[in-house]
Each structure stands twice: as structure tokens, then as C-alpha cells.
Structure 1
Amino acid sequence: MSTGTTITAGIDGSRASLDAADWAAREAERRLLPLRLVHAGTPRPVVARVPDVDVPAGCARSALDRAAIQLSYAHPALKIIARHTEAPAVPALLAAAAESEALVVGSRGHTGGPAPAGFLAGSVALAVAAAAERPVVLVRAGELPEDERAFTSGDALPGTVPYRPVVLGLDLRQPADQLIGHAFETAAVRSAPLVVVHSWTSPPDDDRTPAEPSATVTSIGDARDRETGRRHALSHALRPWRDKFPDTPVSEEVVHGRPEDHLLRASTGSGLLIIGRRAGERLGRAARTVIRRVTCPVVVVPHG
């Protein structure tokens, strides 16, 4: 699944973009890739609270420069490449995503106040996630390194605490090897468990009612048969990837109901949620709902 040569983060100077860039730096370290920082549009000077001793008087660092310096101190072994383009944000980030392993963006930029619980609808982040050729990671402002870890004791060293589970939402009606592969790779580089959630609903044209006993029995039997079939289909779809990643613990959930409800439940307490978007199509209703309401970083993977 890995075809890119960098992890790329979009930088605009906002708190959300800086937290997203720090998340991207950790992901680059996990995947042994360099980190590329991209700033689009007219550079904004960032005035430091204390003077930069190596910056001439009267000058100020750009948001891109300051982010690169801060990240180099926090991640001294990481190769960091900083790039600026005057192109508008969305096309610039889409171009950067096309040649990256993943593009990481913040939940919102300079357009508003404190970030909501999820992501700002209509934002650059949402527009990029809806059209990129490669996976896009959406990270909320305030996301911290310890949020990825399942801390249970104050005595444990941060680097020794296990990662929280990775959750994958999977629609079995679409070919999804790219999506499944990305989820297994992501869990493997973290040595984290993978939880795969497939939800289904009854056909809308089923007009049988509980008032008809025979129809009720048949309907319950049909539902059980459909659920059993979906469990078998899910196990079949995951079997090659289980064989490829034998050290990754995997749990499978087949549940009845709206996918957004079950994905939000499953992602509570998880370190990362991965969802798919059919290549060439926009984000569906369930995906948009999940993106707006989820409280952990979410990855949108184009596939099919």
C-alpha cells in the first residue's frame, strides 16, 4: 500500500495545523519516512514572544519556518523538508497529497475561534479529504502524543505504553484492498490492535410487519442469514491481510444499524479511525457525519 516517499503536513500557522504537523512528524518516524511541510498562499510572518537570536532585526520568521524549527527540536532525528507555494490551499494540498504516503491537515485554520468537538464543515481540511488521491489524516487542535497511547499507570514511560486500537470502517459492497491494506499497515507500525467494523441495514423495500407472525419469523430468519453471510464475507476479505500481518491482533464486528453510529461508538477510546472514500466520488453522508463528530484523528482513504 505504501507508494509515497514522505508524510506531508499542511501548515498555515494555526494551532490546529501545528498539532497536525506534530502528529505527522510522529507518523513519519513510525514509518521511517521524511516529513514534508507545505504552506500555501502568501506567507504570514509570525512574531515570536522572545526574539530569535539568529534572525536579523526587523525580520520575523514565517509560519512555515517556525513550524520547521519547532519540529526539528522535538524530533531531532527526523528529516524535515519545508516547502512554500503561492497556489491556493486546496489545489496545493491536493498536489502534495498525490506524491505523499499521507497528507495530514488540521481540523480548522484561521477562520474561526476554538475548534469544535469534530471538524469544521466546508473547511480546507474537508475539501481536501473529499478529493485527494492519497490518504488524508484530519487532526483536531489539541491532539497530544499521549492521546495515541493507552495510559493506565502514571509510572510508565511514554514510549513504552501501548498504542490505542486502530478502528477501520469497512463497506463490503466495494472493493477495498487499498483501504484494508492501509489499516493493517497503520496498526502494524504501532503494534496496535485493529478493530474492523462492518455495519449493515435491512433492505428498505422489506414491507413485512411484526403484525404478521409468519412474516416476522421469516424476517428474523432472513436477518440472521444476512448477518451470518456478512460475517463470512468479512472474514474472507480480511484473511489475506491477517496472513500478511500475523502479529497484528484483529477483531471483527458485524453490526446492524447506521455506520456512523457504530463507528463513533467504536472510535471512543481509540487512537485512530480509518474510513474509505470510493475513488472519484465525494464523501458520503456517513463519512461526513463521522468526520464532524469523531474525537480522535480520522484517516480518509480513497480506494476502488
Structure 2
Amino acid sequence: MSRTIMVGLDGSSESRAAAEWAAREAKLRSLPVRLVHVREPVPDPLAQAPLLGAETQQHWSEQIPRESAEGLRSRHPGVDVTTVHVEGRPADVLVGAAEDADLLVLGSRGMSGVGGFLVGSVGQAVVARTDVPVVLVREGEQATDEHGMDPAGIPSAATSFRPVLLGLDTRSPDDTVIAFAFEEAARRGTALRVVHGWNPPPYNIYGLSDGVSLYDELTQKNAEELSDVLRPWRHKYPAVEVSEEACAGGAASELAKASREASLVVVGRRIRRSPFGAHIGSVTHAVLHHATAPVVVVAHE
């Protein structure tokens, strides 16, 4: 299969937001978009009901992706949009369909009154099981949300992209995750903001040694480790402006706060071949639920 950006589509407002984001990303990457509409099998007794008969099911399964594709083509000229209908369990179908895709994009319902994601069971299952980068886009996501403010202080697609935000663990940095973040920043012509959160030890670290507190020593050490990890990437992407932040405290909370000024948040997920099921990690799980910008989870060994 040729390279593509795949979108899980179910007709909801959040999945339509995901499709819009995918079309904008497709234009940046010069790739086509493939809308995958998954229809779960209806139990026989319900399938015989007048409003849930085979003809009605077929009508909706065809109408939703067709209308979505037509809308994307009109709003994003030049982006090739195709559709496919598949019957089965959504998580299973999406994981299988995304194997040859560059990205899988899913919608995620925003929490009412609180900035952030409410990630459903399908989204979490897909993120945990697929090796393809998965983007979660919140309901109501618009092109202007990715950009800065115009002179009047209003978000505008005419302004430059907001920075890409990368959550990085210096203890186990992965080239796949870092490269993804640098590439996204380069495509957008914007800066990359890298946040590394570290937890102070559970004992008093404010005592002085030679006039310097242990806290200050740990702060400096973490900042140096972050710079060491990023140094070769700065040379590889000289056009990308990079800011580094080694923050004392939970990485998830720092990333959630920083996401308010980001166009995209990039986090990693270690692939675990475990008989007890897949996991996405505590930091990534928290970021998915509380970030206010689209979040991409990049799987890595």
C-alpha cells in the first residue's frame, strides 16, 4: 500500500475534527488521506428492526465517509481523499488498517469545561496496540488553533505555527520520537520546545555543600543531560529553533501546561511484547487526557 494518512471516522464531531487535522497534515507531507469508516456488526434481532435494517445501515455507512470526503476535498484542494468501509470491532480494524500508514488520526472528545482529552476505550486500545504513530485530535480543533495570535490578539491561520512540544525522558531517549518531533517542527517552519521533567529525591535536598544546594546541582545536571541528548539533533536540523526546559516536577503536568501554547505535542510509548496486555505509560496516558493541543504518540522499542 502506498504511503497515506489514515483517519478513523464514525461521523462524530471529534472524528470530523480528526479528518480536518489529517487533511492539513497531508498537505504538509504531500500525502493522500484515507478515511476508514468502521461499522460494528448489529445483532440479528436489532438488524431486523425498521430503523436498523440492512438498507439503513448501508445508507449510513456510505453517506458518512462520502460526505466527509467531499467536504475535505472542497476545503483542502489538492489533497487526495479516499474512503473505505469495514465491518468489525473498531480497535481491531483500525490497528490492522494502519499497518502501512504514516499516521493514524483519531478524534477525542474534549472534557466539558476543562481543557483536555477524554480518551475513549477505542482510542486507548489503538494507541496501546499499534506501532504506527497515532494522533489524537480533540473535538472542535480548528486550523487557527495551531497558529499564534494576529495583531488583534486573535488566533489566525495567517500567522506562523505555534511551537511543536516534545516530552523527552533523558534516561531513555529514543531517536524515533526525537526525529518525529524535529521533522514536524521543520515541516511547520516553527520552533521545537523540549520539556524534560525530573522528580527530586524524597529527602531534603536544600542543604548547602560548598555554598551550592543539592537541588541546584540536580537542576544543573538534568539541564546538561538534556542538552547532551539534543546536541546532535540541533546539528542535524540547524533551521529548527530549539528551547530546552528541564523542570523539577512531574513531566505530565509540565507538558499539559505547555500544550496550551503548542501546535502539536509529541510523546513516546515503549513497545512491550507482554502477555498481560499493552500499556501506554503513565506520562503518555496523563498527557492524552489533559493536553489541550493534538497529541501524537510515537511507539518505539
TM-score range, shorter chain: 0.7 to 0.9
2:103/2:132 contact within 8 Å kept:
yes
Distance in 1, Cα, partners of 2:6 & 2:212: 49
Aligned to 1:51: none
CA apart distance, 1:7 = 1.1
1:71-102: CA deviation from partner (whole Å, max 9, x where unpaired) = 11111201112112112110111123321111
The reply on whether 1:301 has 2:298 as its aligned counterpart is yes
Match for residue 218 of structure 2 among 207, 212, 226? 226
Distance in 1, Cα, partners of 2:68 & 2:249: 43
1:121/1:292 contact within 8 Å kept:
yes
Q: TM-score, normalised by structure 1?
A: 0.83
Aligned to 1:103: 104
CA 1:175 to 1:293, structure 2 compared with 1: closer, same or farther past 3 Å?
closer
1:115/1:141 contact within 8 Å kept:
no
Distance in 2, Cα, partners of 1:23 & 1:13: 15
Aligned to 1:30: 28
Aligned to 1:162: 160
1:164/1:270 contact within 8 Å kept:
yes
1:8/1:38 contact within 8 Å kept:
yes
1:108/1:124 contact within 8 Å kept:
no
CA apart distance, 1:159 = 5.3
2:145/2:155 contact within 8 Å kept:
no
Aligned to 1:68: 69
Distance in 1, Cα, partners of 2:113 & 2:125: 17
CA apart distance, 1:20 = 0.6
CA apart distance, 1:271 = 1.3
The reply on whether 1:271 has 2:263 as its aligned counterpart is yes
CA 1:265 to 1:198, structure 2 compared with 1: closer, same or farther past 3 Å?
same
CA apart distance, 1:121 = 4.1
Aligned to 1:240: 232
Match for residue 188 of structure 2 among 183, 187, 190? 190
2:22/2:105 contact within 8 Å kept:
yes
1:206-232: CA deviation from partner (whole Å, max 9, x where unpaired) = 4x587xxxxx22596433333322222
Aligned to 2:200: 202
CA apart distance, 1:157 = 11
Name the SS of the counterpart of 1:8 in structure 2: strand
1:6/1:101 contact within 8 Å kept:
yes
1:242-301: CA deviation from partner (whole Å, max 9, x where unpaired) = 112111110000110011111112112221111111122512222222211111111111
The reply on whether 1:253 has 2:221 as its aligned counterpart is no
Alignment RMSD: 2.8
Aligned to 2:208: 217
2:268/2:297 contact within 8 Å kept:
yes
Q: Which deviates more from structure 2 when the two are superposed, residues 20-29 or residues 30-39? A: 30-39
Q: TM-score, normalised by structure 2?
A: 0.83
- For structure 2, which runs of at least 5 residues remain unmatched after alignment? 43-58, 273-277
Distance in 2, Cα, partners of 1:163 & 1:34: 22
Match for residue 178 of structure 2 among 177, 180, 195? 180
CA apart distance, 1:12 = 0.4
- For structure 1, which runs of at least 5 residues remain unmatched after alignment? 45-58, 211-215
Q: Which deviates more from structure 2 when the two are superposed, residues 22-31 or residues 257-266? A: 257-266
1:21/1:104 contact within 8 Å kept:
yes
Matching residue's letter, 1:100: A
Name the SS of the counterpart of 1:13 in structure 2: coil
CA 1:74 to 1:253, structure 2 compared with 1: closer, same or farther past 3 Å?
same
Aligned to 2:85: 84
Aligned to 1:47: none
Name the SS of the counterpart of 2:208 in structure 1: helix
1:115/1:140 contact within 8 Å kept:
no
Aligned to 2:94: 93
CA 1:195 to 1:157, structure 2 compared with 1: closer, same or farther past 3 Å?
closer
CA 1:157 to 1:286, structure 2 compared with 1: closer, same or farther past 3 Å?
closer
Matching residue's letter, 1:79: D
CA 1:270 to 1:30, structure 2 compared with 1: closer, same or farther past 3 Å?
same
Aligned to 1:289: 286
Distance in 2, Cα, partners of 1:175 & 1:236: 11
Q: Which deviates more from structure 2 when the two are superposed, residues 22-31 or residues 285-294? A: 285-294
